[in-house]
Amino acid sequence: MELYLPIAEMPVNIFVILGMGGTVGFLSGIFGVGGGFLLTPLLIFYGISPAVAVASVTAQITASSTTGALAYLRTGNLDLKLGTVLFSAGITGSTIGVFVFKQLRALGQLDLIISVSYVTFLGAVGTLMVMESVRAIVKARKGIVTTRKPGQHNWIHGLPLKMRFKKSKIYVSILPVIAIGGSIGFLGTVLGIGGGFMLVPALIYLLRVPTAVVIGTSLYQILVTMGVATILHATTNHSVDIVLALILMVGGTIGAQFGAQIGQKMKGEQLRALLGILVLMVGMRFAVDLILEPTDHYSTEVMEVSR
């Protein structure tokens, strides 16, 4: 069934888009991540312009992270204070991101930046996740139990301007928190991803936030940052397609429910290994496109008229 998208100005097959949203929702339900890093590329491969794809996925991530954040808020596994500091920085990052996005679009290098960033971040995060989880799986096989030792500090704990986050049981400098929130906000806006797959490891490994609190807090930060990014995309680039976003929301939420049931039956390190492989594969897909000679060396685009 064809449905005309009012902002993308093209008809799409509603079942294909529902299927994409559902599949990505299913995977994100299994792994507990937003899945924007999968959904945006899929929409671009389908033929929706990168600008509309990025902006509409931003709205979809807002919806999916609302569901998640509310669930974690009910069980008490959400650090509101840490999340608020993170998103204050995140909003600043988003604002810069939207303007950079607009400039890149005008320069004709948006596609390149999106591709290079995907290769860099997905490659790096994917490799780290696979390495870490393989190590964990090997340790579990050997029967070694690792516990967090008290007083084990890294260089981050030596920074000034310390702040106490009770729920996360950490006493840490506010500077790395701002840096993490800001860069996730910036990248999320430019790349159309929530950034959960980068934020979760950053909170666990850099700030030593307990795993139980991490996902809820990261969902809360993503919810606010992506909400603001949606408004910024709508005002600066006029590229949020609400019809597209709604189809993705419906597909995504249904898929996520089935995914979550499977995710609960799997072990944490296995999940992280699989997610790492998935992240790496998406990164490789972009790398291949950059390195192989394109079939068409030319691309045509309508020059934006400033209204």
Partner 1 sequence: MILSRLSRAIFGARLLLWLGVCMGGTISAAHSERIVADLSERVIKISSNFTGSDIVIFGTIERDRATVSRGEPYDLVVVVRGWDQTLVSRRKARTFGIWINQDRRLYSNAPNFYAMSTTRKLVDIAHPSLLAKLQIGTRYLLLPPTFKPQDRFATYDPFRVAALRQMREKGLYTDDPSSVTFLSKSLFRSTIPIPSNVEVGEYEVTVHLLRGGALLHSSTQKLHVAKTGFEQHAFTLARDHEFFYGLACVLIALFTGWLTGVVFRKN
Residues of this chain that interact with partner 1 (CB under 8 A) are: 2-4, 6-7, 9-11, 59-60, 62-67, 70-71, 108-109, 111-112, 116, 223, 227, 230-235, 238, 240, 242-243, 245-246, 249-250, 253, 257, 290-294, 296-303, 305
Enumerate the β-bridge partners of residue 2: 13
Enumerate the β-bridge partners of residue 15: none
Tokens of 118: 């995907």
If the CB atoms of residues 96 and 174 are measured against partner 1, the closer one turns out to be 96
In Å, how far are 8, 18, 54, 190, 280 from 186, measured between CA atoms? 24, 28, 13, 6, 21
Task: Give min distance, CB of 198 to partner 1, in A.
Answer: 21
If the CB atoms of residues 144 and 291 are measured against partner 1, the closer one turns out to be 291
Tokens of 92: 């600043």
CA 286 to CA 292: how far, in whole Å?
10
If the CB atoms of residues 130 and 247 are measured against partner 1, the closer one turns out to be 247
- Interior/surface letters 198-224, b for 16+ CB within 10 angstroms, e for the rest: bbbbbbeebbbbeeebbbbbbbbbbbb
Task: Give min distance, CB of 127 to partner 1, in A.
Answer: 19
Task: Give min distance, CB of 33 to partner 1, in A.
Answer: 16
The CA angle 233-116-92, to the nearest 5 degrees, is 35
In Å, how far are 46, 196, 199 from 202, measured between CA atoms? 32, 10, 5
Region label for 169, one of left (φ > 0), alpha (ψ between -120 and 50) or beta (otherwise): left
Tokens of 159: 């920074």
Task: Give min distance, CB of 168 to partner 1, in A.
Answer: 23
CA 133 to CA 228: how far, in whole Å?
33
Whether 78 and 99 have beta carbons less than 8 Å apart is answered as no
Task: Give min distance, CB of 7 to partner 1, in A.
Answer: 6
If the CB atoms of residues 165 and 286 are measured against partner 1, the closer one turns out to be 286
List the one residue out of 86, 89, 122, 23 whose CA is nearest residue 219.
86
If the CB atoms of residues 154 and 261 are measured against partner 1, the closer one turns out to be 261
If the CB atoms of residues 137 and 246 are measured against partner 1, the closer one turns out to be 246
If the CB atoms of residues 249 and 273 are measured against partner 1, the closer one turns out to be 249
Task: Give min distance, CB of 158 to partner 1, in A.
Answer: 37
For 192, list phi and psi in degrees, rounded to 5: 70, 40
If the CB atoms of residues 106 and 131 are measured against partner 1, the closer one turns out to be 106
Whether 92 and 260 have beta carbons less than 8 Å apart is answered as no
Task: Give min distance, CB of 134 to partner 1, in A.
Answer: 29
Task: Give min distance, CB of 229 to partner 1, in A.
Answer: 10
